[in-house]
Chains A and B, each alone.
Chain A
Amino acid sequence: MFESLKSRLKEVRTRLGNDIGAAAESVDETGPFPEERVNPEAESGQQAGLVDKVKALVKDRELIIGEGDVKDAIDELEIVLLENDVAFPVTEEILDHLKKQLVGRRRKIGESVDSIVLSALKTSLKDVLGNGFDLISYIKTHEHPVKVLFTGVNGTGKTTTVAKVGHFLKKNGFSVVIGAGDTFRAGAIEQIDVHAERIGIKIIQHQQGADPSAVLFDAVQYAIAHKVDVVLADTAGRFHNRANLMNQLDKIRRVMKPDLIVYVDEAVAGNDAVVRADEFEKTVGADAVVLTKADMDPRGGAAISIAHTIGKPLMFLGTGQGYDDITPFSPDQVIGELFSEES
């Protein structure tokens, strides 16, 4: 994951560095009159004033990075981010961040351009990615049973994720029960049933067409009676623009009172990821996000978009078809990976 984004980011970084470097050189050539290069319109407002620029250059041997110096590279970065599935508004935000950090910044002549660009990019991304979510320590610090409700649109992999998370928790020494709350889709109960049997987890189920709230309520009751640590509640996929289905979800929330609502989406989704994440957040809320199918997409732009929009931490990445193919998410690691030097 993130392979292509990584290599493209590197290009842009070099480009940005070069542009700023070039700006510095041209300033050096024109001597104490750098204003010739300065765009008069950009002069006003947040831009450093002309006087400041000259003063900085002459007195402190510092350069001020102007908007024009980075414009081309920023435009390029925009395309790079879009091509890598970072949603439009999120792209704009990242660029804004970056511009704000770079433009007007003083740079000592001789200070490495690359390090400035790098740290600016890193902070921009970090702001957007947010913090990860550590499920294990959450469970440890909260009263049992911890009730986790999984939501999301159709076909993002909720059922598979429930199975994987169940397996993950079991491996970490927790007892788990699954509530088969997808009573709508044909074959969904059979699907989770087989999963539960394979990973050796108790499952509470009714037949197809039953009220999901009732199933999940039963699952919670079972957990209380048998002192189970965690309840994982699967639900049917639903579109955020279907009022009655969203109301159903709201009812589920009222009935089972989940401690955590986990929103599941796929890493290959495009711009719509932002719209629906937003809607789910509005109607039922979300405490954490799981991104599935991350192995399909070496880019991972959707991860960045969703994490940003929903403003909630990413908890897991789904990375394959096996029960072990789930990775706890840590933003530092991702950023580190993005900017690690290629071997």
Chain B
Amino acid sequence: MLDKLGNSLKDAMKKLAGRSVVDRAAVEDLVKDLQRALLQSDVNVKLVMNLSNAIKTRSLEEELPKGMAVREHVLRIVYQELVKLMGKGTDVTLGSQTILMAGLQGSGKTTTTAKLARYFQRKGLRVGVICGDTFRPGAYEQLSTLCAKINIPCIGNPKETDALKIVREGLPALSHVEVIIIDTQGRHALENDLIKEIIDINAIAKATHRWLVIDAALGQQASEQARRFHEAISIDGVIITKMDGTAKGGGALSAVSETQSGIVFIGSGETIDDLERFDPDGFISRLLGMGDLKALVEKAEESIASSDFDVNAMMRGKFTLRDMYKQLESLNKMGPLKQIMSMLPMGNMQLPEGVLDVTTVKMSRYRIIMDSMTGAELDDPALLSSSRVQRIAHGAGASPEEVRELLKYYKTMKRALKGVRGGGGKFDLQRMMKRFSG
């Protein structure tokens, strides 16, 4: 996710770091690279122009803060302007509320509705869902199947054609829950009667939040669509979906600027837990390779007791098989390794291809194998001689090759994590510069 935009941004910054003098030409070069990267990510052309002008004028005209090198100054401006582009952070209140989902056809509203329900459920709230999509065949089956898996009530009627009626009758039926999420049919800005329908639904539901769901691949069309939705029901948050593809979500930024709101969540996978809260600061630091420790810690706290998973030890590069075991154990709770790795400050370090793609099935095999190891072996994998490997393989019902494969995987992980170290502060320029120029 976001690798490419991140890489081009990082390259641009690296170029700046490599310059002996930071002058007008250097800034202009940087701005040009940034423009290219952002345009390729589908960010609205006008937004990009505004951003690059702001960076240019600020870098050349603003007074240098005391004790700061020109280079750091420019970097800071880039960082700040990019954060500004992301819109303001939005708070998600964990209390009684009604959320109305809106968006284009196929943007992922129904899937996101279920993910959101799961999110609030995990936060300990009672959640109910109303299926207001009366048009697409199978919409109700889709939502109710997803909801049944997580035991959340889903109100709807595949035979009813009047969405307003479903919502009107659904709301009292869900009076006992705290969070009500209303899924709606996909619609686009040029379909006037559907726009009218969502205005009416909004009036009936008196929704606390009206969130616009945007496909990460949406291009320049995003601003226009967002504008119409905003006019109709005044959108107060944007959810980007399908961020697990290669799309970079620039369209969502246009939507953000059009609706004067912020990005609330990011959907990045097909399972019901693949939904992340969005934080502009963290997002940009992650993009620039500075990591997002806040999100990592939050995530860790949510799923695991802190004693289980020592982020700090991991950051120091101390990583034993035991740590890996814990990691695998909490895998389901905490989400895929890839997501977690992206939150670590890695600078421009590249992970070997394929390390993170080990499937869940393999992960559970690994856990079983590690169950057959002794405590000493877990703490110090160097002990594993071929006879020990043999014993472990017997114990776990695996082949010695599999055990060796596990060790190889462990070694790659360890090597990858070694590079991570440091980077405690969110915005540690000095260190970042070193990493960029190194």
When distances are taken between beta carbons in the complex, the residues of chain A under 8 Å from B218 are 268-270
Contact status A293-B246, CB under 8 Å: no
Contact status B106-A156, CB under 8 Å: yes
Q: Is B96 an interface residue (CB 8 A)?
A: no
Contact status B145-A296, CB under 8 Å: no
Contact status A187-B139, CB under 8 Å: yes
When distances are taken between beta carbons in the complex, the residues of chain B under 8 Å from A301 are 219-220
Which secondary structure dominates where chain B touches chain A? Answer: loop
Q: State whether A157 and B106 are in contact (beta carbons under 8 Å apart), knowing that A241-B245, A271-B40, A272-B217 are contacts in the complex.
A: yes
The 6 closest A-B pairs by CB, nearest first: A270-B219, A187-B142, A191-B138, A194-B137, A270-B42, A155-B106
Contact status A187-B221, CB under 8 Å: no
Q: Is A167 an interface residue (CB 8 A)?
A: no
Contact status A82-B246, CB under 8 Å: no
Q: How distant is the Cα of A208 from the Cα of B36 in the complex, in angstroms?
A: 43
Apart from A157-B106, A293-B106, list 4 A-B contacts with CB within 8 A. A82-B39, A157-B105, A191-B136, A191-B141
Q: Is A190 an interface residue (CB 8 A)?
A: yes
Contact status B42-A272, CB under 8 Å: yes
Would you give the 0/1 interface string for A270-297, flagging 1 where the beta carbon is closer than 8 Å to chain B? 1111011001000000000000110111
Q: Is B170 an interface residue (CB 8 A)?
A: no
Number of interface residues of B (CB under 8 A): 46
Q: Is A22 an interface residue (CB 8 A)?
A: no
Would you give the 0/1 interface string for A249-276, flagging 1 where the beta carbon is closer than 8 Å to chain B? 0000000000000000010111111011
Would you give the 0/1 interface string for A162-203, flagging 1 where the beta carbon is closer than 8 Å to chain B? 000000000000000000000011111111111100000000
Contact status A193-B107, CB under 8 Å: no
Contact status A85-B141, CB under 8 Å: no
- For B221, give its contact among A79, A268, A279 (CB under 8 Å): A268
Contact status A296-B104, CB under 8 Å: yes
When distances are taken between beta carbons in the complex, the residues of chain B under 8 Å from A155 are 105-108, 215, 241-242
Q: How distant is the Cα of A63 from the Cα of B216 in the complex, in angstroms?
A: 48
Q: How distant is the Cα of A114 from the Cα of B105 in the complex, in angstroms?
A: 41
Would you give the 0/1 interface string for B31-53, flagging 1 where the beta carbon is closer than 8 Å to chain A? 00000100111100100000000
Contact status A243-B138, CB under 8 Å: no
Contact status A293-B105, CB under 8 Å: yes
Between-chain CB contacts (< 8 Å), 25 pairs = A82-B220, A85-B221, A153-B217, A153-B242, A153-B245, A155-B215, A187-B143, A189-B138, A193-B137, A193-B138, A239-B246, A268-B218, A268-B219, A269-B217, A270-B218, A270-B219, A270-B221, A271-B42, A272-B216, A272-B247, A275-B247, A293-B104, A293-B106, A295-B188, A301-B219
Q: How distant is the Cα of A271 from the Cα of B40 in the complex, in angstroms?
A: 6
When distances are taken between beta carbons in the complex, the residues of chain B under 8 Å from A270 are 42, 217-221, 247, 250-251
Q: Is A88 an interface residue (CB 8 A)?
A: yes
Q: How distant is the Cα of A249 from the Cα of B300 in the complex, in angstroms?
A: 35
Q: Which residues of chain A from 190 to 236 have a CB within 8 Å of any chain B CB? A: 190-195, 208
Q: State whether A321 and B135 are in contact (beta carbons under 8 Å apart), knowing that A85-B220, A186-B146, A270-B218 are contacts in the complex.
A: yes
